[in-house]
A and B are shown apart, each in its own frame.
Chain A
């Protein structure tokens, strides 16, 4: 690229910065109107509750959760495109990396907003932090998304440093914009020390952003997969979601660079080659997604056990077949066909294919989110009918993406000038391989002996060790002991009640013969009760009744034995019923559930009419073994314990963030005076500035 072209490049990249034309205002107004309508729709939902949406008691999540998964997925594509292309030193990336990073940032913010819209009590969002439960997938989610958001912001800001510095210096904007550029340039002059620091910071972030994006989308998948809902409870879900995110994300990047190319007139720099490379990536991801989907449905549908069979039926031939087939044919197969045919207008075909993929992936997310709700067995098929509120909010969120990008690129250059100079080898930059071989830098002798890489690795290992010690050592802290020992939250009964026939203690039961004390006069017969320890005391007590009429024993009378128990009022629990024998005797063996005092009631009946009643009491010295014990899971703390391992990794990630951003900013600021080598002023911007003078 000759200096003249580079000047033109810089001109185009900064062409729109701080200069919003009438067309910009027109488009922005239209988009803002959509956003405003979405805000109005949300205000209706806040006032009236979710009854204005299509969610029901069984279809508990709707459009908002679909949007959440969709937008976060898109964001992933932007970040990973830029990160992978940087790491592989793909030279063609220079004009598109800023757009990809900007798309990642804007869609991530939109995605975070769409899940907050779903929450029933938005006023209590701070509770997520205040009362965070480590075992909840929602907690994992906000932690992962917050981490990813910080990473995305850093990944957007670091490569911006040289551009805002050079632009701010040459264009000299005043007011808040000038202050913003000065703040974000960290005193960048392009000294060798600053170049080294920047390259290091971007390198760390490019490596970090890939696992981070994977983790965010995996956590998003686990939100669904850790439940036992049919169609969600699947081990394939995390990689499936990651793949879906990359697919829809790369498609969106293609759409955004096509739009930016037209809007900012970048045809000279963003060429068909860029679309070709990205589209090949898109098609490869598309094919991989087809493979995942085939694997999912084959395993789900082969035996057709319920309710997976029902769900497949709904997908393939049932109520949701139009959604499914539009997605499968229109969103996956047609894009491949569009790109596979040879011929003209590749860019147009690529954009069409991307649009189909984006719409198709939204439809697929819709099917994933609502299907368990509509496919509950034992319940009538519920149908989810989204309302104007949900549609309005969704449209508002979609409109917010181009609006956000327009504002972003009215403030910052749409293409990275510094990166183009770097990959073009202009501006007398130190060649990349040389810097790789000599960690200290070829030009400047450095005072510190240790290279940055060993230090970062060392710090990471040290932090991981600290985290491990914290986790393992935590077992000595009372609070964490429950994590290792099975937790029993059920109250332990008092010792006197805890054990069953603990001792062979016949004791001396106090038997009180009350005879026919209660209503004896009214009843035709009389009864007497006696309680004695059984011969084998582990079997409890023998409760016997003697039924008489005018002192003569009565046989063939049904006698029911009750224990008086306090359960939400005084209740008579049936011990058993027996017929009296020739001596008027009937008895049952009773091993009570509780030790201590027991009141007994005996009632004799003939043809359902009570003929005699008697009461007695005794002191139980033996009781049945406890039948109740709290259910234990094989691995009691697994669900909150395993994520704790991830928390250890998280600590390392945040430390690396701090190192990459704060470290780079400090080094750039302190490296401004480095005179060990030539200052690499941006030739493109400098040439442009000269031209303007």
Chain B
């Protein structure tokens, strides 16, 4: 029997440990980002003019229809907020598409990823359903598919991160700014149906945003109306801007 020296044992351990270490070398926190090709230079953003929102929740319903979601899945959720001053206003909450997205950072398998257009998408073929992203999201904008989604035959075949319909049981889903619409040159479902024209979708690079009827210069629109971002102090870099208000008559 060949004598096993301590040197050999140690050498073997070093090799084994090196292999383990190699597995942990940074391979990039967002491995999927490179795989997503873009046709445009868009950096998507949303502006929500709360002066106009009347809380009809058509956006929520249109989203659920578009993505074949059960009614408890409010990917864009309209919260009613009552202030100390006695006024009440409605605050639609889509996914903030954070640039420093906590959900992307904590995902153990890289199922949540950034597209080159700045959207945070979920690859439901990859998601293991640990819900760490839900713990990490400061906005509570993620939804766990705790049962089989409503039956729907996706005409385009298998669901993709860009068109995750139907949702997969045991995985997490969320608002994706209807990227399946925007890449076809259509407005997101919620923007399409908003009669109050409170929802704007825009491009930060071309500096323009539209609610379907009016089109504005994004940067000056935000400046002129003192826009802010939800929980901005967390430095998550949300891509959704809010304009404060509670249903004032804007003569539009």
Task: Answer whether residue A594 sits at the interface, using C-beta atoms and an 8 A cutoff.
Answer: yes
User: How distant is the Cα of A227 from the Cα of B210 in the complex, in angstroms?
Assistant: 34
Task: Answer whether residue A409 sits at the interface, using C-beta atoms and an 8 A cutoff.
Answer: no
In the complex, which range does the number of interface residues on chain A fall in?
A: 35 or more
Q: Is the CB of B33 within 8 A of A489?
A: yes
Within 8 A of A (CB), among B121-140: 126-132, 134-136, 138, 140
Contact partners of B6 in chain A: CB under 8 A:
448, 455, 663
Task: Answer whether residue A325 sits at the interface, using C-beta atoms and an 8 A cutoff.
Answer: no
Q: Is the CB of A644 within 8 A of B182?
A: no
| Most-contacted residue by chain B among A128, A232, A565 (CB, 10 A) | A565
Task: Answer whether residue B56 sits at the interface, using C-beta atoms and an 8 A cutoff.
Answer: no
User: How distant is the Cα of A239 from the Cα of B165 in the complex, in angstroms?
Assistant: 44
User: How distant is the Cα of A134 from the Cα of B27 in the complex, in angstroms?
Assistant: 8
Q: Is the CB of A61 within 8 A of B14?
A: no
* Per-residue interface assignment for chain B, residues 1 to 40, with 1 indicating a CB less than 8 Å from any chain A CB and 0 otherwise: 0011010011011101110110111111111010000100
* Per-residue interface assignment for chain A, residues 131 to 142, with 1 indicating a CB less than 8 Å from any chain B CB and 0 otherwise: 111111111001
Of the candidate stretches B58-66, B150-158, B198-206, the one touching chain A is: B198-206
Q: How far is the CB of A318 from chain B (nearest CB, A)?
A: 20
Contact partners of B182 in chain A: CB under 8 A:
568
Contact among B107, B126, B140, B237 with A136 in the assembled complex (CB-CB below 8 Å)? B107
Task: Answer whether residue B217 sits at the interface, using C-beta atoms and an 8 A cutoff.
Answer: yes
Q: Is the CB of B206 within 8 A of A594?
A: yes
Contact partners of A137 in chain B: CB under 8 A:
106, 108, 132
User: How distant is the Cα of A42 from the Cα of B134 in the complex, in angstroms?
Assistant: 22
Q: Is the CB of B132 within 8 A of A136?
A: yes
Q: Is the CB of A49 within 8 A of B145?
A: yes
Q: Is the CB of A480 within 8 A of B25?
A: yes
Q: Is the CB of A631 within 8 A of B237?
A: yes
Task: Answer whether residue B216 sits at the interface, using C-beta atoms and an 8 A cutoff.
Answer: yes
Contact among A60, A136, A482, A574 with B106 in the assembled complex (CB-CB below 8 Å)? A136
Given contacts A119-B129, A574-B214, contact A644 B234 (CB under 8 A): no
Closest to A492 in B: B41
Closest to B219 in A: A627
Q: Is the CB of B217 within 8 A of A482?
A: no
Within 8 A of A (CB), among B90-133: 99-100, 102, 105-111, 114, 116, 118, 126-132
Task: Answer whether residue A474 sits at the interface, using C-beta atoms and an 8 A cutoff.
Answer: yes
User: How distant is the Cα of A639 from the Cα of B118 in the complex, in angstroms?
Assistant: 20
Within 8 A of B (CB), among A467-486: 467, 470, 474, 479-480, 482-483
Q: How far is the CB of B181 from chain A (nearest CB, A)?
A: 8
Given contacts A61-B135, A466-B18, contact A640 B29 (CB under 8 A): yes
User: How distant is the Cα of A654 from the Cα of B24 in the complex, in angstroms?
Assistant: 14
B interface majority secondary structure: loop
Closest to A631 in B: B237
Contact partners of B109 in chain A: CB under 8 A:
124, 127-128, 130-133, 136
Q: Is the CB of B170 within 8 A of A228?
A: no
Of the candidate stretches A50-58, A205-213, A435-443, the one touching chain B is: A50-58
Q: Is the CB of B215 within 8 A of A666?
A: no
* Per-residue interface assignment for chain A, residues 364 to 404, with 1 indicating a CB less than 8 Å from any chain B CB and 0 otherwise: 00000000100010110000000000000000000000000
Contact partners of B128 in chain A: CB under 8 A:
119-121, 124-125, 127-128
Task: Answer whether residue A493 sits at the interface, using C-beta atoms and an 8 A cutoff.
Answer: yes
Contact among B10, B108, B216 with A133 in the assembled complex (CB-CB below 8 Å)? B108
Within 8 A of B (CB), among A127-163: 127-128, 130-139, 142-143
Q: Is the CB of B10 within 8 A of A459?
A: yes
User: How distant is the Cα of A53 from the Cα of B214 in the complex, in angstroms?
Assistant: 46
Given contacts A568-B210, A631-B237, contact A138 B3 (CB under 8 A): no
Task: Answer whether residue A262 sits at the interface, using C-beta atoms and an 8 A cutoff.
Answer: no
Contact among A132, A224, A624, A644 with B207 in the assembled complex (CB-CB below 8 Å)? A624
Contact among A51, A466, A626, A652 with B146 in the assembled complex (CB-CB below 8 Å)? A51
Q: Is the CB of B100 within 8 A of A633?
A: yes
User: How distant is the Cα of A626 from the Cα of B219 in the complex, in angstroms?
Assistant: 10
Within 8 A of B (CB), among A486-527: 487, 489-491, 493-494, 497
Q: Is the CB of B17 within 8 A of A49?
A: no
Q: Is the CB of A139 within 8 A of B30?
A: no
Q: Is the CB of B146 within 8 A of A49?
A: yes
Contact partners of B234 in chain A: CB under 8 A:
228
Q: Is the CB of B146 within 8 A of A572?
A: no
Task: Answer whether residue B87 sits at the interface, using C-beta atoms and an 8 A cutoff.
Answer: no
Closest to A128 in B: B108
User: How distant is the Cα of A145 from the Cα of B187 in the complex, in angstroms?
Assistant: 47
Task: Answer whether residue B186 sits at the interface, using C-beta atoms and an 8 A cutoff.
Answer: yes
Given A134-B24, A659-B9, 16 further pairs, Cβ under 8 A: A53-B146, A118-B130, A119-B130, A120-B131, A128-B128, A131-B108, A133-B109, A133-B110, A134-B27, A228-B136, A459-B10, A474-B25, A480-B26, A483-B26, A633-B100, A633-B235
Please list the residues of chain A having a beta carbon within 8 angstroms of any beta carbon in chain B. Answer: 48-51, 53, 55, 57-58, 60-61, 118-121, 124-125, 127-128, 130-139, 142-143, 223-224, 226-229, 232, 372, 376, 378-379, 448, 455, 459, 462-463, 466-467, 470, 474, 479-480, 482-483, 487, 489-491, 493-494, 497, 565, 567-569, 571-575, 593-594, 624, 626-628, 630-631, 633, 637, 639-641, 644, 647-648, 650-652, 654-655, 658-659, 662-663, 666, 670
Please list the residues of chain B having a beta carbon within 8 angstroms of any beta carbon in chain A. Answer: 3-4, 6, 9-10, 12-14, 16-18, 20-21, 23-31, 33, 38, 41, 43, 72-73, 79, 81, 99-100, 102, 105-111, 114, 116, 118, 126-132, 134-136, 138, 140, 142-148, 168-172, 182, 185-187, 201-210, 214-219, 234-235, 237
5 A–B pairs (Cβ distance < 8 Å), ordered by A: A227-B102, A228-B102, A466-B14, A593-B207, A658-B17
